[in-house]
Amino acid sequence: MKLLPPLLLLVLLPCWAIALLATAAARNVSYDSRSLIIDGQRKLLISAAIHYPRSVPEMWPKLVQTAKEGGVDVIETYVFWNGHEPSPGNYYFGGRYDLVKFVKIVEQAGMHLILRIGPFVAAEWYFGGIPVWLHYVPGTVFRTENKPFKYHMQKFTTFIVDLMKQEKFFASQGGPIILAQVENEYGYYEKDYGEGGKQYAMWAASMAVSQNIGVPWIMCQQFDAPESVINTCNSFYCDQFTPIYQNKPKIWTENWPGWFKTFGGWNPHRPAEDIAFSVARFFQKGGSVHNYYMYHGGTNFGRTSGGPFITTSYDYEAPIDEYGLPRLPKWGHLKQLHRAIKLCEHIMLNSQPTNVSLGPSLEADVFTNSSGACAAFIANMDDKNDKTVEFQNMSYHLPAWSVSILPDCKNVVFNTAKVGSQSSVVEMLPESLQLSVGSGSADKSLKDLKWDVFVEKAGIWGEADFVKSGLVDHINTTKFTTDYLWYTTSILVGENEEFLKKGSSPVLLIESKGHAVHAFVNQELQASAAGNGTHFPFKLKTPISLKEGKNDIALLSMTVGLQNAGSFYEWVGAGLTSVKIQGFNNGTIDLSAYNWTYKIGLEGEHQGLDKEEGFGNVNWISASEPPKEQPLTWYKVIVDPPPGDDPVGLDMIHMGKGLAWLNGEEIGRYWPRKGPLHGCVKECNYRGKFDPDKCNTGCGEPTQRWYHVPRSWFKQSGNVLVIFEEKGGDPSKIEFSRRKITGVCALVAENYPSIDLESWNDGSGSNKTVATIHLGCPEDTHISSVKFASFGNPTGACGSYTQGNCHDPNSISVVEKVCLNKNQCDVELTEENFSKGSCLSEPKKLAVEVQCN
């Protein structure tokens, strides 16, 4: 066989193969005080956190692509140790834990990757990502100078590093990984471990560097990190962060664009204007690598949430929502920001900035290179007042708490407070559970649902696990193999008790370290109680019904996730600490030291009722209408998938608390627990520093009503939905909901930046345009109607715009002419389109809301 010359081989190869060969070449990743340097080129990098186990493999390509379209260069993820090593030495990398597949998808998208191995991760993930079994290895103390912990940590870290090397994933091998992280936010807690904490932190850095991966290691929030690694910042703002060593670049590993939720808490909201302000300030003040934590939060499927009390949703109000849809305007506003920053990249990385004070709370950082090219960031840090500034003989208006970006030191291409990107109207469209019969779409008909029901016994099922005097710790007993632990005992009530004669009720008093309890007396549910995301312990005080003779007390204790951070967090327990009954003739009876009989888990769990192979292990009762308000009940029903291909949520607002599965896949914990009645805002003021309680919404509403069910989990027919309900609800009202963008809105003023970032050509001026609203409906839909349009001084937000006292009556007809029946359109704020009339308000605004069908 004649061999072709190498050059001719390259000519004959298709483009994609040449690209793969190029990416396979080893790349050098180094750094200095200004930036990362990749193959000799300085880089400003925008990174997006997407955790692979919090979505499904079928979603990964689109998530990565949506991030890339949003102007992102790098994907960041933790590695989840307890998902990969469920028992000592037994590794799992399938399904949602297919790390190799995830990294390959990032690589195929032509993006870099930051791998935060940890392997402690916090992340609102149960036990902070460390396997529960490790806590029960004798002599183990997490995250300190401790031989068993260090042994297992190094073993797992080495396993992951070797796996990445085997796949040639490090940039030094031609792969996408440009940074790796060891440990995580240990600086907050190191002092609590004494000298052992310092020794452990130094050991962790040394152990990581010894892995010889060929790319830099980072340690976030490690305030005494050694010079062998780069210390990085996690916060809502990192513009004032300075690395420990002068030769290290300024890296922001976690900018939180939202916040997590806890069952019974509020819905936090961080405005797009403030996020953009924080990012612009970071790069203005010398930042090099910036990562959004999270860019797509996803879902805590099954029992993977931490906290405790972290919701099943880990949406995080991130730029890509839990279901995979871009969150607008946040995603779009940040996309424009990223483009504006990238226009300045070369100048910023190859010049020394000059800081210019422009007045109180006003400053500009000016970057000028050797060829005379100039870029500037002008900031107004005043959190109340707009300002007009003079900069290089020109006048600029800056809203309060904003940054303007000028890639040529003349033209403002972006201001962080002026959100011109469209917003979306997102609805959860209900679809009743249904089952159709027939082979083809034409002859299909609906069939009545058949519900199969299995009711658990309140208390000991089968043989007891053990009997013990006194109350045991919940977590040490279950070792997190289940959320549930039964504490059972009995008391004798004599015929002479006054409450029997008077018909009054004794009072049950329970104290618990957490997290929740259902109290049963003689198989009847008496009451429930729980802690919350800020205070795990709780007390229950409730009247109960007792009869003469023997009374069975059965208390179902529950965990709602495990602690995921804090000093010595693995020792934080849960479960009952005191049980008393008031109202007896002789006073209060303390049951705490009684003999208690214990049972770990539910009978349905033991029988495997969440999966098809376990369905035949119990006697189900069939019914066309499922029983309502019945505790400790398993429901099984066969359903069709919802129509279309929109993302799907399971609406559980009419249920109590429990677990859900589809076709054996763990949807997770559900609990439509309502948030506080107070503490919310009607309108969020983006100005000023953000904290998680600044802009709460959702008062008096369920913290989480819908539960994400990935489309890939559905079959064409015969889908088995299984619900375990703890305290009672109405399963006949369970619905699927399709998450759909049904409309879009935008509001733009005449003074918004009007330069086309796509065609910017370094200040020639040819790309200057008028202020424009861009509207775009989702793919395969079109603008079917204009619900609102007003040119003048409209007010309000998307979905609630109102006309001001200045309004062009032709606004709707102008927008209809440009936009109706199109997938997308641009409406310019020109005199040809709109009449200013005698309105005095300046500048004029255009607000539009359209329907998408």
Longest Cα–Cα distance of the chain, Å, equals: 106
SS3 831: coil
Query: Peptide bond preceding 119: is omega within 30 degrees of 0, i.e. cis?
Result: yes
Q: Identify the active-site residue in 85, 107, 145, 185.
A: 185
Q: How far apart are the first and last CA of the chain?
A: 60
- Cβ-based neighbours of 455, under 8 Å, separated by 6 or more: 630, 632, 633, 634
Distances (CA, A) of 563 to 131, 313, 692: 12, 17, 19
273 included as an active-site residue = no
Cα gap 238→254, rounded to integer Å: 9
- Which strand (E) or helix (H) includes residue 740? strand 735-749
β-bridge partners, 512: 538, 576
Q: In this structure, are residues 64 and 52 in contact, taking their beta carbons and an 8 Å threshold?
A: no
Tokens of 61: 């390509």
Tracing tokens 């992340």 back to the chain, one arrives at: 123
Tracing tokens 């439509």 back to the chain, one arrives at: 672
85 included as an active-site residue = no
Closest CA to 483 of 570, 574, 607, 572: 574
Residue type, 482: T
Q: Identify the active-site residue in 107, 124, 145, 254.
A: 254
Cα gap 749→429, rounded to integer Å: 33
Cα gap 812→787, rounded to integer Å: 8
Q: In this structure, are residues 57 and 84 in contact, taking their beta carbons and an 8 Å threshold?
A: no
Tracing tokens 């690395």 back to the chain, one arrives at: 243
Q: In this structure, are residues 307 and 123 in contact, taking their beta carbons and an 8 Å threshold?
A: no
Per DSSP, the residues of 380-397 read E--SS--EEEEETTEEEE
Query: Peptide bond preceding 807: is omega within 30 degrees of 0, i.e. cis?
Result: no
Closest CA to 659 of 678, 634, 627: 634
- Cβ-based neighbours of 8, under 8 Å, separated by 6 or more: none
β-bridge partners, 755: 768
Tokens of 108: 């195929």
Per DSSP, the residues of 84-123 read H-SBTTB----GGG-HHHHHHHHHHTT-EEEEEEES---T
Cα gap 303→720, rounded to integer Å: 20
Q: Which residues are designated catalytic?
A: 185, 254
